[in-house]
């Protein structure tokens, strides 16, 4: 099990090193003790519309970065104590009519203010197996400077603790994976990540 976790972390780092070449880095801070990732997206529509999509990860999260392989199994319950969770459905080999084989808590909601702020606590993916804690905050605000409305979404993921692979070493991989999810969210809402995201 220990070697499997180490393999996952090294694979995550390698994936980031590969995919990170084409993506703009959004690593605001990094050290052996922690990582701060920051993304800023501008999207059309109201904060209420953005919120509706944000709390429905099945609409925008990439199923390739899930345990079940299908984003339809992902949900967010947007209230304090609510879960960013994933169902693990029974497969055909598990026998017909069986209940789900399990579930995964990706993060726990610790602050929900509809159409304004969503904050969740937890370590995503293989970081769950490490002594790492994370806080992810989505802040939504009207785009007053665009004249035609819209919403600015600022996402910060602050990670701290101990990882056997080294937090600074895996920062590009975490950025590559999380950044692609935030890009998918922005695209689903008809917008994009702004280039000044790391500033």
Tell me the per-residue pLDDT of 70-127, one tens digit each, with 9 for 90 and over: 999 999 999 999 999 999 999 766 655 567 899 999 999 999 999 999 999 999 999 9
pLDDT in tens, 189-199: 999 998 754 44
Q: What pLDDT does residue 1 have?
A: 42
Range name among 18-22, 39-43, 100-104 with the lowest pLDDT average: 18-22
pLDDT at residue 14 is higher than 50? no
110, 96 Cβ separation under 8 angstroms:
no
Domains by residue range for the chain, with CATH:
2-193 (3.30.530.20)
Q: Tell me, what's the pLDDT at 199? A: 43
Name the pTM for this structure: 0.84
């Amino acid at each position: 099990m220990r070697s499997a976790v180490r393999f996952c972390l090294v694979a995550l780092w390698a994936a980031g090193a590969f995919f990170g070449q084409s993506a703009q880095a959004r690593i605001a801070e990094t050290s052996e003790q922690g990582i701060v990732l920051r993304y800023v997206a501008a999207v059309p529509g109201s904060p209420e519309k953005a919120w509706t999509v944000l709390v429905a990860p099945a609409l925008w999260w990439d199923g390739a970065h899930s345990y079940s392989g299908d984003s339809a199994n992902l949900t967010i319950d947007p209230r304090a104590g609510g879960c960013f969770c994933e169902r693990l459905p029974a497969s055909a080999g598990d026998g017909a009519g069986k209940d789900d084989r399990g579930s995964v808590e990706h993060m726990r909601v610790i602050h929900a203010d509809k159409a304004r702020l969503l904050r969740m606590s937890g370590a995503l993916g293989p970081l769950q197996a490490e002594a790492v804690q994370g806080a992810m905050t989505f802040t939504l605000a009207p785009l007053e400077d665009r004249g035609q409305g819209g919403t600015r979404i600022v996402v910060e993921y602050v990670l701290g603790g101990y990882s056997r692979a080294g937090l600074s070493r895996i920062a590009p991989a975490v950025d590559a994976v999380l950044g692609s999810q935030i890009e998918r969210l922005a695209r689903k809402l008809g917008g994009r990540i702004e280039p000044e995201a790391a500033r």
